[in-house]
Homo-oligomer: A and B are copies of this chain.
Amino acid sequence: MKLDQIETPAALIDIARMQKNIARMQGHMNALGVAFRPHVKTTKCIDVVRAQIAAGARGITVSTLKEAEAFFAAGAEDILYAVSMAPSKLPRALALRRQGCDLKLVVDNPNAAAAIAAFSDQHGQTFEVWIEVDTDGHRSGITPEQDTLLEVGRILHENGVKVGGVMTHAGSSYELDTPEALAALAEQERAGCVRAAQRLREAGIACPAVSVGSTPTALAATQLEGVTEVRAGVYVLFDLVMHNVGVCALDDIALSVLATVIGHQADKGWAILDAGWMAMSRDRGTSKQSHDFGYGQPCLLNGTPLPGYVISAANQEHGILSATAEHAHTGEDITQRFPIGMKLRVLPNHACATGAQFPEYHAVTPDGDSVEWRRFHGW
């Protein structure tokens, strides 16, 4: 289907840009000598993940057990469920393990570790668990020097649960915007995770995997000594937040929302699009960054950005396109510039959030044709 035949709003993936993003990350990891385990929460799309695996990814990272089930059914076997395990979810993890899925769980506290050990014993199933390490204080995990790290390690190890590794995610990298700061955080993430592994090993607990990553730190890392693998998700599509962080150009962003002009408020300089927050998501991740892109950056249908315009506000099915304060288009008639029926592409703040609003992507080839790639949602 050609671009101008796709009903709006629609989520478009520019396949050439996506493949370039995949090649860039995989090439960087190959050069650093580490394995790469993409986080598939960004797209939840089997077609995208196949391209990541074809490029050299080893295993995948998931954020929900539904992703684990869907990607296991599609052929992925080595799966890291990278959210601290809730004991009530163990039966579902058990079912995956029994089907032959090499599912790895994550914990960061003694209670969940003990629950896994007890459940494992009760059901005669060995689980593999990675311990989550906190290297930047932004969310979960155990800091490398905390006593809890060894406590959790011992609860698992002494009760027959395999401690497969340590993992960390320096998510505070999203708040940075200079190469120096990103490189420093990448080193902090590496050093902290390697140190946690060292402490476990010194306590007699094998800890084969040392897994780090976020898109900005993965791209900024210059050496990853002691690390065995890197995880990253949003790099595959990129978005305006990542552009502000400084790790991609606008024309690396592979996800856009196709929209149609459906109205105007000429006095206010508004063109109304049929892409509101239901299409763009409510993510306003650029609002606290150096450049606030509102609800998105409008582009022509061919992908050329339109500087000086922004999606300045959004209702459920209405997006308001207007000129930015810095670029008042003096005297311009918005109804002529963006006539009724005109199609635009809008770059999103956050690819993970925007993608989740759609049941499918339209994957666009360089010649402007498209195929439908399903994605799933829910838990």
**A residues touching B (Cβ–Cβ < 8 Å)?**
7-10, 41, 63-64, 83-89, 92, 108-109, 111-112, 115, 134, 139-140, 171, 260, 262-265, 272, 274, 277-279, 281-284, 315-318, 320, 339-341, 350, 352-353, 356-360, 377-379
Contacts of A85 in B (CB 8 A): 262
**B109 A340 Cβ-Cβ under 8 A:** yes
List, in ascending order, chain B residues with CB within 8 A of A140's CB. 263, 265, 272, 318
Docked-complex contact A7 and B84, CB < 8 angstroms? no
Is B282 in contact with A353, judged by CB distance below 8 angstroms? Answer: yes
A379 proximity list for chain B (CB < 8 A): 7-10, 279
Q: Which of A86, A134, A377 has the most CB of B within 10 A?
A: A86
Closest B residue to A107 by beta carbon equals B263
CA distance A207 to B98 in the complex (A): 65
Complex Cα spacing A10 to B284, Å = 24
User: Nearest Cβ in chain B — how far from A340, in angstroms?
Assistant: 4
Which B residues touch A339, using CB under 8 A?
A: 111
Residue A83 contacts which of B63, B284, B317 (CB distance < 8 angstroms)? B317
Contact status of A353 and B277, CB under 8 A, knowing A86-B260, A87-B341, A139-B320: yes
- Chain B CB within 10 Å — which of A263, A265, A279, A378 has the most? A263
Shortest C-beta distance, A257 to chain B (Å), equals 11
The reply to whether A88 and B377 contact each other, CB–CB distance below 8 Å, is no
Q: Are A274 and B83 in contact (CB under 8 A)?
A: yes
Could you say which of B8, B262, B281, B283 contacts A112, with CB atoms under 8 Å apart? Answer: B262
Q: Are A316 and B352 in contact (CB under 8 A)?
A: yes
Q: Which of B265, B274, B282, B358 contacts A284 (CB 8 A)?
A: B282
- Contact yes or no, A84 B171, CB < 8 A: no
With most chain B CB atoms within 10 A of its CB, the pick from A108, A265, A316 is: A316
* Closest B residue, CB atoms, query A340: B111
A63 to B318, CA, bound (A): 10
Instruction: Report Cα–Cα, A294/B317, bound state, in Å.
Output: 24
Given A115-B341, A272-B139, A86 contacting B282 (CB threshold 8 A): no
A258 to B: closest C-beta gap in Å = 11
Q: Could you list 18 A-B pairs, sorted by A, with CB under 8 Å?
A: A7-B88, A41-B317, A63-B278, A83-B262, A83-B274, A86-B274, A88-B341, A108-B263, A109-B264, A109-B340, A111-B340, A139-B315, A140-B265, A140-B272, A140-B318, A358-B378, A359-B377, A377-B377
